[in-house]
Structure 1
Amino acid sequence: NSMKFTPELIFKEKNINKVKITTNDKNSVTKGVKIIKSLSKYDIGQSIVINNGYVLAIEGPEGTDETIKRSLYLSKKYKLKNKSILVKFPKAKQDLRVDLPTIGIDTVKNCIKANIKGNQNIILDKDKIINLTKKNNFFIISL
């Protein structure tokens, strides 16, 4: 699978840049993972955006970046003050040989633009992403 042939792209650190993670953040991540796991049997998306315990967006066929953009629209529409959390996690029976959850620099930029705080994921452009996350007090954690 892709993890075997490109181990340098796999995100192994618990916290990519040591940004402090709050209890509310942890609760949102836990909720996101539970929802993705429960929706797995329906083959629905790898990503979910949660704001202060409320689900803003669940990934559909449009992909992660469009899910993030939709969450930005809803955050603005409802004037949400808190930062959101993006949880990206493989579905229960996902074939990781060909479809490993992946984030790249555009995904992180979209998260920052959408006020998302930002898991078995591939990270493309890892050094650029680490620098960008440090500049924006943005966290990425591995579960």
Structure 2
Amino acid sequence: MSASQKPRKLGIAAGSGPMPVALAEAARAAGREVFIIGIKGAAEREIERFPHAWVGIGAMGEFIRLLKDEQCEDVVLIGPIRRPSLSSIIPDKLGRQIMPRVARWMLQGDDGLLRGLSSYLEEEHGLRIVGAHEIAKDLLTPPALLTSTAPNEADERDIDVAIRATLAIGALDIGQGSVACRGIVLALEAAEGTDAMLDRVAGLPAHLRGREGAREGVLVKLSKPGQERRVDLPTLGLTTVEKVAAAGLAGIAAEAGGTLLVDSEAVARAANRAGIFVLGLTPERIAKASK
């Protein structure tokens, strides 16, 4: 393979969860070199299976230096990072220089922060920000039922309710998921994330979560309307399945092509064992419910 044909080296800025490693594995399988920069306090130690470095959340100069030293031409920002308070960030020299911009981006919500950061890295440092789905399309949820268990009529109605709720909070840049049961919204995702929301649902009185001995209610995950799709797509994986099952819910419905899915085969097996469904929602299904 000539130098001109060689795939562009991929830098991965890793937040929490399994997706950074799943992406690195997919990129390497496709013939790409990868270098992972783990965000301290967020990324998992598993990233150390790959060439890597660790940086603090305010060390922007060190972050960019590492990417350039490693000759990373494409960069993916992936994995949630708890939004820090400005007072808790310990910036390096470049971090201090851009702190006023970061403060402005943060006032525009999560999507505004990610848009601002992406534009800054591209326009001022010549890096190309790409989405995980551009590197590995098989990490996206397919438009299909992944499990042997399928939603029943009551589940379909709850999916409709949760779609409308999730689109509403997404339009306000609040969150990317909600839970509905018997036509009632039980929980909305905000800054705490999906796992914490599902823990809250599991702690609700049993009569709110369905009949005793029966699974009722659904989790719906959607991207925010108009969001920057190269970063911060919703994600589901084994932990999501485990927490949905623990909350007594009947299943998961996620936006096909707009939700990252970590190891679809393992997710399907775990969901089948738990007796819950996992469904990829088509754009047509989402649009119909939104009306």
Asked if TM exceeds 0.5, the reply is: yes
Partner of residue 59 from structure 1, selected from 189, 192, 198: 189
- Of the two, which has the highest radius of gyration? 2
Counterpart Cα distance in 2 of 1:95 and 1:51: 30
Counterpart Cα distance in 1 of 2:241 and 2:205: 17
Counterpart Cα distance in 1 of 2:206 and 2:265: 31
Matched residue, 1:26: 156
Partner of residue 127 from structure 1, selected from 265, 269, 285: 265
TM score, norm. by length of structure 2: 0.46
Report the AA paired with residue 223 of structure 2. P
Counterpart Cα distance in 1 of 2:197 and 2:154: 21
How many pairs were matched up?
143
Aligned in 2, Cα 1:7/1:51: closer, same or farther, shift over 3 Å? same
Query: Are 2:226 and 1:97 aligned?
Result: no
Counterpart Cα distance in 1 of 2:230 and 2:148: 30
Counterpart Cα distance in 1 of 2:207 and 2:160: 26
- The Cα shift of 1:13 comes to 4.0
Aligned in 2, Cα 1:112/1:43: closer, same or farther, shift over 3 Å? same
Report the AA paired with residue 66 of structure 1. A
Counterpart Cα distance in 2 of 1:138 and 1:83: 10
Partner of residue 3 from structure 1, selected from 110, 129, 133: 133
- The Cα shift of 1:78 comes to 4.7
Aligned in 2, Cα 1:104/1:28: closer, same or farther, shift over 3 Å? same
Aligned in 2, Cα 1:37/1:18: closer, same or farther, shift over 3 Å? same
Q: Percent identity?
A: 26
Report the AA paired with residue 132 of structure 1. A
Q: Structure 2, unaligned stretches of length 5 or more?
A: 1-130, 282-291
Report 1:32-43 matches (<5 A). 32-43=162-173
Counterpart Cα distance in 1 of 2:171 and 2:158: 21
Alignment check: 8 A CA contact 1:15 1:139 kept: yes
Matched residue, 1:87: 220
Counterpart Cα distance in 2 of 1:77 and 1:35: 21
Counterpart Cα distance in 2 of 1:56 and 1:79: 8
- The Cα shift of 1:38 comes to 2.2
Query: Are 2:271 and 1:141 aligned?
Result: no
Counterpart Cα distance in 2 of 1:135 and 1:52: 24
Q: Structure 1, unaligned stretches of length 5 or more?
A: none
Q: SS of the residue aligned with 2:150?
A: coil
Aligned in 2, Cα 1:49/1:79: closer, same or farther, shift over 3 Å? closer
Aligned in 2, Cα 1:92/1:112: closer, same or farther, shift over 3 Å? same
Aligned in 2, Cα 1:45/1:73: closer, same or farther, shift over 3 Å? same
Counterpart Cα distance in 1 of 2:280 and 2:133: 15
TM score, norm. by length of structure 1: 0.91
Counterpart Cα distance in 2 of 1:141 and 1:47: 14
Deviates more, 1:114-123 or 1:46-55: 114-123
RMSD: 1.7
Counterpart Cα distance in 2 of 1:34 and 1:51: 13
